[in-house]
Structures are given as C-alpha cells and as structure tokens.
C-alpha cells in the first residue's frame, strides 16, 4: 500500500538528548492513526517533525513521495497536509468567520490582503460559510471566537485546518480541555467532516485512551523516542506490557 506520509529512520536530538530515535512509519490513505505514549515519549516532537516545524537530525520525512523534511507548515499546506493550530489563542480578537477566513485566504493565496478588502470577496466567504456549517458553527460566524464554549473552540481550530482542504490532517490533542460529554461530539463532527471533505488520512496525538480506542484504525505507541508498538487497537489492548507503558497500568 503506497504511503501518503512516511518517516524513515527519523531522529531528533537536542544536544545530548535524543527525543526521537530511529522512528519509521508509513501512513497510507484511508487510515485514522493515533500517536500515543507517556509524557516525554516524543509524540509532540514527532508531529513537529512530520509537519515541517522541525527538521530531523537524521532520517527523512516524505509526503506523497516528496522529501519534505523541515520545509515548514506553509509549504506542506500547499502540498496538501495541514495541522490544526489553536488560532483562537493566536488571534483572540477575530470572529469565528474571520478565524476560518485566515485559512481560506492562505489557501487562495490572498494573504497580503486585509479582511476589510475581502468584504466583497464571495469566494472567500462562501468557503468560510461552507466549512462553518460542516462543523456546526454556521450560526456563530459573527461571534468573537474567544467567547465560544471550549468544545466549539476546539471545533473551530480543526475547522480552520480543514479550510485548507488538505489530504492529510494532523491534530494535536483535539479533545484536550473539553468536557467528557463534549469529547465524542467533537470527534464525531471531525470524522464526518473529514469524510465529506475528502480528507484521506487523519493523524492525531491524543492522551484520552477512550477516544484513541474508539476512533482509531491504527495506533502508534512511542516510548523514549522509539516506536514501542504499531497496529490496530485490538492488538495494543491485548498487550499488557504496552498498555502498562502507555497508560501506566495493565488493562484488565
């Protein structure tokens, strides 16, 4: 099966500390992949390397067969891979519609224009409205993004990444800070939106194991910068040693 995204013997070192130590994985189209592991396992470093924020100290990252090691998230978005960032925190003064428009404007190559000059740009605002509806935010377009409930803030972060129309999307803790009751709502909306928008693969870092086991086709467990296990949820659940390492205890 051809990989959309591939890491080959990826290493990342900070001085004498090795955060990633020979990580190799290949992610084809059609998979929802969760990256899990205890604190300090290398999860965030791996996502930062996969999304071009960090250049690996060794090894290669390929997207659709092209070496993208360290190219940065802007170039990766142009190639078809996007990462959800917490834009509500980055642009706290923007409305819901303007927050999504940041991504739409970037995708359409109109980043040099101010929102005021985009007021009559039907293509931008039609795209904003379409994405907002998919995520249940259509009635909140004019609302200051910072005033949304936490679950909707998370959906807005994800919606902004989806507005880039990626083939592959990476999500860093998409349900963190969200109430237990809202976690599954966020995930259901996310998965349905991905299917409707033609997203080929989703990769998430997530610590909530109920979410991980409930939505993943595949789980990659990291420990001390290395791949400890890589397989379907059932295979990890059946491995007491892996479960003890990942969640701190063996599952009954």
Instruction: Clarify whether residues 57 and 95 are in a common domain.
Output: no
On whether residue 188 sits in a domain, the answer given is no
**C-beta of residue 233 within 8 angstroms of C-beta of residue 243:** no
Q: Which has the minimum average pLDDT: 30-39, 54-63, 84-93?
A: 84-93
Q: For 92-97, what is the mean pLDDT?
A: 91
Please name the residue that has the structure tokens 């070496």.
67
On whether residue 185 sits in a domain, the answer given is no
What span, in angstroms and rounded, lies between the C-alpha atoms of 231 and 153? 31
223, exposed or middle or buried, with CB in 10 Å at 0-12, 13-18, 19+?
A: middle
pLDDT at 111: 61
| pLDDT-above-90 percentage for the chain | 67
| Phi then psi dihedrals of residue 251, to 5 deg | -85, 145
| pLDDT tens, position by position, 139-165 | 999 999 999 998 999 999 999 999 999
On whether residue 186 sits in a domain, the answer given is no
Instruction: Clarify whether residues 139 and 19 are in a common domain.
Output: no
Instruction: Clarify whether residues 73 and 95 are in a common domain.
Output: no
What span, in angstroms and rounded, lies between the C-alpha atoms of 138 and 182? 18
How high does pLDDT run on average in the chain?
Answer: 90
pLDDT at 251: 45
Full residue range of the structural domain in which residue 233 is found: 1-80+167-179+193-252
Instruction: Clarify whether residues 133 and 30 are in a common domain.
Output: no
On whether residue 50 sits in a domain, the answer given is yes
What span, in angstroms and rounded, lies between the C-alpha atoms of 195 and 210? 21
On whether residue 103 sits in a domain, the answer given is yes
pLDDT at 50: 94
Instruction: Clarify whether residues 75 and 94 are in a common domain.
Output: no
pTM of the model: 0.89
Instruction: Clarify whether residues 52 and 174 are in a common domain.
Output: yes
Instruction: Clarify whether residues 29 and 5 are in a common domain.
Output: yes
CB atoms within 10 A of CB 2: 9
| pLDDT tens, position by position, 107-140 | 887 665 555 566 668 888 999 999 999 999 999 9
**pLDDT band (50, 70, 90) for residue 88:** confident
DSSP structure class, residue 144? B
Return the structure tokens found at 206.
């997530």
| β 226-231/218-223 pair status | antiparallel
pLDDT at 252: 41
**C-beta of residue 110 within 8 angstroms of C-beta of residue 102:** no
Q: For 6-26, what is the mean pLDDT?
A: 96
- Into how many domains does the chain fold? 2
Instruction: Clarify whether residues 106 and 223 are in a common domain.
Output: no
| pLDDT tens, position by position, 221-233 | 999 999 999 999 9
pLDDT at 162: 94
pLDDT at 109: 77
**Following DSSP, what letter does each residue of 49-83 receive, concatenated?**
HHTTSS--SEEEEEETTEE-TT--HHHHHHHTEEE
pLDDT at 108: 83
Q: The domain spanning residue 52 has which CATH number? A: 3.40.50.300
Q: For 78-87, what is the mean pLDDT?
A: 86
On whether residue 187 sits in a domain, the answer given is no
Instruction: Clarify whether residues 8 and 60 are in a common domain.
Output: yes
Q: For 20-48, what is the mean pLDDT?
A: 94
Q: For 237-244, what is the mean pLDDT?
A: 90
pLDDT at 72: 87
On whether residue 32 sits in a domain, the answer given is yes
**pLDDT band (50, 70, 90) for residue 6:** very high
Instruction: Clarify whether residues 74 and 175 are in a common domain.
Output: yes
Instruction: Clarify whether residues 95 and 152 are in a common domain.
Output: yes
**pLDDT band (50, 70, 90) for residue 47:** very high
pLDDT at 165: 93
| pLDDT tens, position by position, 179-206 | 888 899 999 999 999 999 999 999 999 9
7 pLDDT exceeds 70? yes
Instruction: Clarify whether residues 175 and 250 are in a common domain.
Output: yes
**C-beta of residue 170 within 8 angstroms of C-beta of residue 47:** yes
What span, in angstroms and rounded, lies between the C-alpha atoms of 114 and 102? 10
């Amino acid at each position: 099966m051809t990989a959309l995204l591939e890491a080959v013997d990826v290493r990342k070192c900070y001085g004498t500390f090795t955060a990633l130590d020979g990580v190799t994985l290949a992610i084809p189209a059609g998979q929802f992949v969760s990256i899990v592991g205890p604190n300090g396992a290398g999860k965030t470093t791996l996502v930062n390397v996969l999304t071009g924020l960090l250049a690996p100290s060794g090894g290669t990252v390929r997207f659709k067969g092209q070496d993208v090691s360290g190219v940065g998230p802007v170039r990766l978005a142009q190639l078809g891979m996007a990462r959800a960032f917490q834009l509500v925190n980055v642009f706290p003064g923007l409305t819901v519609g303007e927050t999504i428009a940041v991504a739409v404007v970037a995708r359409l190559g109109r980043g040099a224009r101010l929102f005021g000059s985009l007021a009559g740009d039907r293509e931008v605002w039609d795209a904003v409205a379409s994405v907002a509806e998919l995520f249940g935010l259509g009635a909140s377009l004019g609302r200051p993004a910072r005033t949304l409930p936490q679950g909707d803030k998370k959906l807005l972060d994800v919606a902004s990444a989806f507005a880039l129309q990626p083939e592959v999307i990476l999500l860093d803790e998409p349900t963190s800070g969200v109430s237990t009751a809202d976690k599954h709502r966020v995930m259901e909306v996310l998965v349905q939106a991905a299917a409707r928008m033609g997203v080929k693969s989703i990769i998430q870092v997530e610590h909530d194991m109920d979410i991980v086991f409930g939505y993943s086709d595949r789980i990659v467990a990291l420990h001390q910068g290395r791949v400890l296990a890589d397989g379907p949820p059932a295979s990890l659940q059946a491995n007491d040693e892996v479960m003890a390492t990942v969640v701190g205890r063996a599952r009954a």
